[in-house]
Structure 1
Amino acid sequence: MRLVILGGGGFRVPLVYGALLGDRGEGRVTRVVLYDPDPARLSAITRVLAEQAAGVPDAPGVTATTDLDEALRGADFVFSAIRVGGLEGRAEDERVAFAEGVLGQETVGAGGIAYGLRTVPVADALARRVALLAPDAWVINFTNPAGLVTEAMSRHLGDRVIGICDSPVGLGRRIARVLGADPERAWIDYVGLNHLGWVRGLRVDGRDELPRLLADPDLLGSFEEGRLFGAEWLRSLGAIPNEYLHYYYFNREAVRAHRESDPTRGAFLRDQQARFYDGVRSPGTPALAAWDRTRAEREATYMAENRETAGAGEREPEDLSGGYEKVALALMRAIARDERATLILNVRNGATLSALDAEAVIEVPCAVGASGAHPVSVDPLPGHATGLVCAVKAVEREVLTAARTGSRAAAVKAFALHPLVDSVTVARRLLDGYLAVHPGLAYLA
């Protein structure tokens, strides 16, 4: 099979290739095509992959190109892993938001809206190109904000685009680990939007083990989300939220911690990855070792401000090894080989959540096989969660409208309607601030 990675010069591409190296099954990926408009980044990542493949028999061949059409022709699977505006754009998203006293995180709040406004037009154009040149390909979307971007692409690709995220899988595995259950045998009742979901049950052999966890303060304090949210709040919810809900439930504390962080997360990653890419330009630099060191530091500092605010401590060693590449490989296997699997994915709602329309992309367990990913039937969310999901989905729809029509009013409305932006006046200033630093938003001027 031929796999195309859009954003092939991205830092996390070696995670995907590492997963492919371990796949020896029939119908596996034999050719990887990296597409990126930046030849220097392509060169750096190609070097890392070459070192990964050293000594591995029948490793998937790798080619790199800056020609999108050349990359897409003949594709069986396409991974969309782009970052419009780069990490410099992420750092600016944070700076502008924090100056207004609101959250600048790349997928949540003002920062997520700014990133979406930059990314959706590009993702839309990519989806159109895939539909024209590789109409039978399956597109797996890694690009954040994952649910929003997947919904944008689905307007051209239908159910052949599927969004993935490793947060729900990681959360489910942590809960199973604490409960002494096998994650492979557990049914994880997870429902919501990307970075806005809740584990409401974890069933093993038909028995829901989550009440046992919620009733035990020691167990709750033994894993990351338990420490992040606190036992009392989790018992009040009767569920375990995705870690990104810390930005909603403890917004003031999160904004304060992030504003006081120097550098911000985006600026840290911008500078860290610049050092990596600059370093591997030298032919004598061991590219894979440099990548490993950079990745370890990146993973260890993930959501560090939130953990510090909550006194949650360091990340567990088991959570430092990535995860989204494993979800992607499982998804490809299930589709290509009809290996039936249940995975938590971002797909069109259909009739799954009655509070949302059929075209809304949601994040739920899906039955996956040769015909794609199909959301399973789930119980309705409680009122507080439904309200939050509907509010954030309304924001996403305004972003899609702004990207499609160039409407400044829709962009302001997206900012103003978000639960973490507390003033229409602030929403207007946010858009003005982002227009001043992002040339890619000129279509809204």
Structure 2
Amino acid sequence: MRLTILGGGGFRVPLVYRALLDDPGRAVSEVVLHDTDPRRVAVIAEVLARLAQGHPAPVPVRVADGLDDALEGAGFVFSAIRVGGTAGRIHDERIPLSEGVLGQETVGAGGVLYGLRTIPVALHIAERAAALAPGAWVINFTNPAGMVTEAMSQVLGDRVIGICDSPVGLVRRAARAAGADPAALADPGRAGYDYVGLNHLGWLRSLTLDGTELLPGLLADDAALGSFEEGRLFGGDWLRTLGALPNEYLHYYYFRRETLDSVRDTRETRGEFLDQQQGGFFERAAAAGGPDAVYALWERTRLEREETYMAHSREASGGWQRDSHDLEGGGYDRVALALMHAILGNSGTRLILNVRNGTTVPQLAPDAIVETVCEVGAQGARPLPCAPLREDQLGLMLQVKAVERATVEAALFKDRGAALRALALHPLVDSPAVAARILERAAKEA
């Protein structure tokens, strides 16, 4: 089976390929890379060549000649594009910050700006995939993952599934902190968890193993909470008040003032850091002199990237270093590989995914994309029923979903009013006048 990776020059593509090489199932017979930047995809192909060295049965890799060539005949398509590159991300962060509101890749005004730029390209990909590979499953990594998946689903229906590694990382860390073996989570006969929300806005509300609910004991134990990232980010008092473990990105909502203070006067936003780091990597890699040198450079750069992830939020919550097991990388690739195997093997595996709501959250439209626990088989991902949402959880979900849907509408129909509504109604944007100025400046700098 052919796997196509759109955004094949992306920095994290080697993690996917490494997982494929280590995969005992070996469902993939060929990897096809497509990217709009020939230099980047050539460097990443060299890293993949180094990973394949010495492997008894390496997966062949080919760089496609255009989008249609990449899509035709694909069984699965991983979409991991970055429209506008890191330069676009810098604008998405700096423009809101200049107006005194948070700028972040997927959250707040920055996420809306990124969505407006990305959705038209994602829709074109969906249309070409529907025409050239109607039987393919499209797995969307592209941020903002919720709204991009929602836009693509208008063309592909349930054959597009969004993934994110934040929820599964939270579940694993919570299980480890509660004294359970995270490997047991793969057995639905032993373990269960209730996670629901939107992409980068969700809550782990139950975690059971062998019939025992682990979450209340974990929330009561400050030492255990202090042993993992979300416990440090939010603090025991607030987590006990919530009665749940929030996705790490909810730190931007719950601790808006502290996070904004940590980033407002920063000399370097996350986008600027990545622009310099990755730009430097690709420049040095082009002159590194062979796959071994390029791979070593990539591994050093990857570790630095993981070490600095969400640095401003960690600074706002007291400052601490990430745990070693969170620096390994490989979150997205593990989720994607598990999803692929579950579809091919009709296994009924349970995964947290971005899918159409159906009746999972009755207050949302059936076609709205939610992030929740799904059962995956040959027909795709089916969201499982979940406990009713508390009013504060539901209220935040409804408001952010309105923002997402307005962003999709604005991108589809070039509708300035919908774009203004998306920005002004976001909980992290505190004024329609501010929203209008952000929109005007973004249009000028596009």
Q: Within 5 Å, which residues of 2 pair with 1:154-165?
A: 154-165=153-164
| Percent identity between the two aligned chains | 60
Q: Which amino acid aligns with 1:208?
A: E
Q: Which amino acid aligns with 2:94?
A: R
Q: Please state whether the residue corresponding to 2:9 is helix, strand or coil.
A: coil
Q: 2:328 is matched with which residue? A: 321
Q: 2:401 is matched with which residue? A: 393
The CA distance in 2 between the partners of 1:200 and 1:381, in whole Å, is 10
Q: 2:187 is matched with which residue? A: none
- Counterpart of 1:228 (choices 209, 216, 233) is 233
Q: 2:188 is matched with which residue? A: none
The CA distance in 1 between the partners of 2:319 and 2:233, in whole Å, is 5
Q: Within 5 Å, which residues of 2 pair with 1:107-186?
A: 107-185=106-184, 186=191
The CA distance in 1 between the partners of 2:205 and 2:219, in whole Å, is 11
Q: 2:421 is matched with which residue? A: 413
For normalisation by structure 2, the TM-score amounts to: 0.97
For residue 37 of structure 1, report the CA deviation from its aligned partner: 1.4
For residue 406 of structure 1, report the CA deviation from its aligned partner: 0.6
Contact 1:36 1:66 survives alignment (8 Å): no
| Residue 79 (structure 2) pairs with residue 80 (structure 1) | yes
Q: 2:15 is matched with which residue? A: 15
Q: Please state whether the residue corresponding to 1:184 is helix, strand or coil.
A: helix
For residue 188 of structure 1, report the CA deviation from its aligned partner: 2.1
The CA distance in 1 between the partners of 2:14 and 2:325, in whole Å, is 19
The CA distance in 1 between the partners of 2:69 and 2:230, in whole Å, is 44
Q: Which amino acid aligns with 1:405?
A: F
Contact 1:392 1:419 survives alignment (8 Å): yes
Q: Please state whether the residue corresponding to 1:34 is helix, strand or coil.
A: strand
Q: 2:100 is matched with which residue? A: 101
Q: 2:56 is matched with which residue? A: 57
The CA distance in 2 between the partners of 1:319 and 1:283, in whole Å, is 28
The CA distance in 2 between the partners of 1:138 and 1:65, in whole Å, is 19
Contact 1:4 1:33 survives alignment (8 Å): yes
The CA distance in 2 between the partners of 1:233 and 1:267, in whole Å, is 32
Q: Please state whether the residue corresponding to 1:367 is helix, strand or coil.
A: strand
The CA distance in 2 between the partners of 1:164 and 1:6, in whole Å, is 15
The CA distance in 2 between the partners of 1:375 and 1:207, in whole Å, is 23
For residue 216 of structure 1, report the CA deviation from its aligned partner: 1.5
Q: 1:345 is matched with which residue? A: 353
Question: Could you list the per-position Cα deviations for residues 150-189 of structure 1 after superposition, in whole angstroms to 9, with x for gaps in the alignment?
Answer: 0100011010000000000000011000111122333221
For normalisation by structure 1, the TM-score amounts to: 0.97
Question: Could you list the per-position Cα deviations for residues 338-384 of structure 1 after superposition, in whole angstroms to 9, with x for gaps in the alignment?
Answer: 23310000000001101101000000010011111100010111000
For residue 107 of structure 1, report the CA deviation from its aligned partner: 0.3
Q: Within 5 Å, which residues of 2 pair with 1:370-389?
A: 370-389=378-397
Q: 2:213 is matched with which residue? A: 208
Higher mean C-alpha deviation, range 357-366 or range 211-220: 211-220
The CA distance in 1 between the partners of 2:378 and 2:319, in whole Å, is 41
Q: Which amino acid aligns with 2:338?
A: A
The CA distance in 2 between the partners of 1:340 and 1:282, in whole Å, is 47
Q: Which amino acid aligns with 1:290?
A: L
The CA distance in 1 between the partners of 2:45 and 2:428, in whole Å, is 40
For residue 266 of structure 1, report the CA deviation from its aligned partner: 0.4
- Counterpart of 2:297 (choices 274, 282, 290) is 290
Q: Which amino acid aligns with 2:422?
A: A
Contact 1:142 1:164 survives alignment (8 Å): yes
Q: Please state whether the residue corresponding to 2:183 is helix, strand or coil.
A: coil
- Counterpart of 2:440 (choices 427, 432, 441) is 432
Question: Could you list the per-position Cα deviations for residues 10-64 of structure 1 after superposition, in whole angstroms to 9, with x for gaps in the alignment?
Answer: 11100100100001325x1110000111111110100000001000111110000
Q: 1:301 is matched with which residue? A: 308
Higher mean C-alpha deviation, range 385-394 or range 404-413: 404-413
The CA distance in 1 between the partners of 2:56 and 2:66, in whole Å, is 29
The CA distance in 1 between the partners of 2:263 and 2:133, in whole Å, is 42
Higher mean C-alpha deviation, range 184-193 or range 28-37: 184-193
What is the RMSD computed on CA atoms of the aligned residues? 1.0
Higher mean C-alpha deviation, range 163-172 or range 211-220: 211-220
Q: 1:442 is matched with which residue? A: none
The CA distance in 1 between the partners of 2:409 and 2:303, in whole Å, is 39
Q: Which amino acid aligns with 1:83?
A: R
The CA distance in 2 between the partners of 1:305 and 1:240, in whole Å, is 20
Q: Which amino acid aligns with 1:261?
A: T
| Residue 271 (structure 2) pairs with residue 266 (structure 1) | yes
Q: Which amino acid aligns with 1:187?
A: G
Aligned length: 437
Name structure 2 gaps, 5 residues minimum: 185-190
Q: Please state whether the residue corresponding to 1:191 is helix, strand or coil.
A: strand
The CA distance in 2 between the partners of 1:13 and 1:234, in whole Å, is 35
Question: Could you list the per-position Cα deviations for residues 223-258 of structure 1 after superposition, in whole angstroms to 9, with x for gaps in the alignment?
Answer: 111111111100000001000000000101111111
Q: 1:25 is matched with which residue? A: 25
Q: Which amino acid aligns with 1:316?
A: D
